[in-house]
Structure 1
Amino acid sequence: MDKELELLDIKLLRLLDQLYATRSVTRAAEALGQSQPTLSIWLARLRKQLNDPLFVRTAEGMLPTPRTDALMGTVREVLAGLQRLSESGAEFDPPTARRRFRIGMTDASHITLLPRLLSHVRAVAPGVALEAGRIDGELARALQSGDADLALGYLPWLDAGFYQQTLYGQDWICLANARHPRVGSEAGKDWNLEAYQAEAHIAISSGTGYQLLDNALASQHVSRRVLLELPGFLGLAGILSTTDLIATLPRHIGETLARAAGLRVLPCPLPIPGFTVKQYWHARYHHDSANRWLRGLCAELFMKSA
């Protein structure tokens, strides 16, 4: 069996570099902060390992042998590589950065979170672009690989290997046309569970939060007469504004739609478990300065005000 190759110590590589540059043991010792006897010991080790004198004493100083000349390019590449490895990565600088962030989010977040996030990013990091990605079965892989940087929402299935931070809590409200003929002119007037069951409803079929709603309805034996089912929030405000249908929504998206379309906000007449909207990121990028900046920005914008 061949003897295992003995790797050169980094301090011996530095000695080669300094001797080659200075042609002097004295000056090399000063540069390396070592004594001349120590450098003589190191040089003896090098000569033995490489089976070459490496430097010879002359009236002009320590001159390299042809073997040393041939080695120096590789030696300096190795030292430069080790230097790069030891340096910390450059910190993300928002005003000068040129970067695209991909954020997995629901269409509810497109309405509630994305406009504010985009506005702030444009103000503090004009070279940064945002891409809204989908919440689907590929999200975990995308976050792990770096194809996505962050995910926003209620995503309890993202667990092992992921960090998470709570942004805000959600309870449930109902929305109706401001001129609804049976609800009344004041929010909550004549509005109870019996009236809720008597009205026709719009159901949103997507999102993990809606599993909580469906489970609550089933467990409390509450039925809804659903006349329209939508995969998301596109068109919901317009439909509510022109019909007498009722929608049961998480508060943040419901109040956002109500303000934009002049809809009536009603209390939810049955208890539905609340949930928390969080931001999620993979452990691989926990110390990445760009990812850390984006997470900090989302926390600053949404933890207190949502």
Structure 2
Amino acid sequence: MEPIELPDLKLLQLFDLLYDVRSVTRVAEQLGQSQPTISIWLGRLRAHLQDPLFIRTPSGMAPTPQADALIGPCREILESLRRFAAWEIAFDPSTAKRRFRICMTDASHITLLPRMLAHVRAQAPGVRLDAARIDGNTERALESGEADLAIGHVPWLGGGIYQQQLYMQDWVCLTNRSHPRLRAKLSRKQYCAEGHVAIAAGTGAQLLEQALLREHIERDVVLELPGFLGLGSIIKTTDLIATLPRNIGETLARVNDVAVHPCPFPVDRFAVRQHWHARYHHEAGNRWLRSVVAQLFGNAS
């Protein structure tokens, strides 16, 4: 059995409109086409359906019995196409049962994840959140759907990835409030003279290293950590200095009651963004998750 060939969408729209207005001139105006173009389209439709469809009369273009029989199926097709174009699988957070995986740094586990979790538990009790690392597999995970979002400073993500800026990050230093040699303001001279904790991880760490080289500052690194876990306690119980992005720095300072100082030399700021793959740009659940992130963290200081 040979497949049925349907007329072009524009021909179906022409048929539907002409059946109502009974005037080629008015159809041309409403479709934004010239009258000769509409006449050509009508000729194609007549040839396709092997019927005149409309006969010119003193009162306008009168439909033939074949046109009367076809107008119903034509409008059903057009309505189905309209529904198809507007189709979106509904996502109701209050009833949804779904897992979302979000790639983020361990700093975001401390600064962003608690607020996200509280919001999701209140608005979407059936939704589960999984936190994953940002690494060399992040782009592939976003493309495959293994991960839904990546949040952070991830400038190496390639094509096919959408992004939305959430906030800008500058840099601060953390010290013990009772540091024996520091005044209220941390100076560059004091920074260079003291011992430091270095954080190997963090998507902005390279910016700090570039600034240290540019400013000809060589830190006396006493301790290097793979991440931010335990950093607050170390600063609180030693005379070491940690240099880190403001969001994680201020969070650790509040939790551990340590001092926050402006970084005494310039370090490039960087944008924290959420990233998602183009394949899931219109997917309703992904859109909801992105809206939650933008609502919670967009334009955060």
1:142 and 2:141 matched: yes
Partners of 2:69 and 2:246 in 1: how far apart? 76
Aligned counterpart in structure 2 of residue 240 of structure 1, from 228, 235, 242: 235
Partners of 1:162 and 1:201 in 2: how far apart? 37
1:250 and 2:257 matched: no
Displacement of 1:38:
5.7
The count of residues paired between Structure 1 and Structure 2 equals 237
The residue that corresponds to 1:303 in the other structure is: 298
Partners of 2:136 and 2:241 in 1: how far apart? 31
Partners of 2:278 and 2:284 in 1: how far apart? 13
* Cα distance change of structure 1 residues 35 and 147 upon mapping to structure 2, 3 Å threshold: farther
1:127-186 deviations in Å (ceiling 9; x for gaps): 1110001111110000000000000000001131111000000000000111111113x3
Letter in 2 for 1:8: I
Partners of 1:278 and 1:159 in 2: how far apart? 14
The residue that corresponds to 2:98 in the other structure is: 99
Retained in 1: the 8 A contact 2:139–2:158? no
The residue that corresponds to 1:123 in the other structure is: 122
The residue that corresponds to 2:226 in the other structure is: 231
Superposed CA RMSD: 2.3
Report SS of the residue matched to 1:273.
Answer: coil
Identity of aligned residues (%): 57
Partners of 1:251 and 1:83 in 2: how far apart? 49
Report SS of the residue matched to 2:247.
Answer: helix
Aligned counterpart in structure 2 of residue 204 of structure 1, from 187, 192, 199: 199
Partners of 1:215 and 1:304 in 2: how far apart? 26
Displacement of 1:40:
8.8
Displacement of 1:86:
6.5
Report SS of the residue matched to 1:108.
Answer: helix
Flag structure 2 segments of 5+ consecutive residues without an equivalent. Answer: 8-62, 71-80
The residue that corresponds to 1:66 in the other structure is: none
Partners of 1:133 and 1:230 in 2: how far apart? 19
Letter in 2 for 1:158: L
The residue that corresponds to 1:24 in the other structure is: none
Partners of 1:283 and 1:10 in 2: how far apart? 31
The residue that corresponds to 1:8 in the other structure is: 4
The residue that corresponds to 1:108 in the other structure is: 107
1:194 and 2:189 matched: yes
Q: TM-score, normalised by structure 2?
A: 0.74
Partners of 1:242 and 1:101 in 2: how far apart? 38
Partners of 1:221 and 1:169 in 2: how far apart? 25
Displacement of 1:300:
0.6
Displacement of 1:10:
6.2
* Cα distance change of structure 1 residues 7 and 259 upon mapping to structure 2, 3 Å threshold: same
The residue that corresponds to 2:24 in the other structure is: none
Retained in 1: the 8 A contact 2:95–2:126? yes
Give runs of ≥4 in structure 1 deviating > 4 Å: 38-41, 82-87
Report SS of the residue matched to 2:159.
Answer: coil
Displacement of 1:246:
0.3
Partners of 1:303 and 1:38 in 2: how far apart? 56
Flag structure 1 segments of 5+ consecutive residues without an equivalent. Answer: 12-33, 42-81
* Cα distance change of structure 1 residues 228 and 35 upon mapping to structure 2, 3 Å threshold: farther
Letter in 1 for 2:141: A
Report SS of the residue matched to 1:89.
Answer: coil
The structure with more radius of gyration: 1
Partners of 2:89 and 2:283 in 1: how far apart? 10
The residue that corresponds to 2:28 in the other structure is: none
Displacement of 1:290:
0.6
Report SS of the residue matched to 1:202.
Answer: strand
Report SS of the residue matched to 1:121.
Answer: helix
Partners of 1:195 and 1:160 in 2: how far apart? 44
1:173-217 deviations in Å (ceiling 9; x for gaps): 000111111113x3x1xx211110100000001122010000110
Displacement of 1:39:
9.1
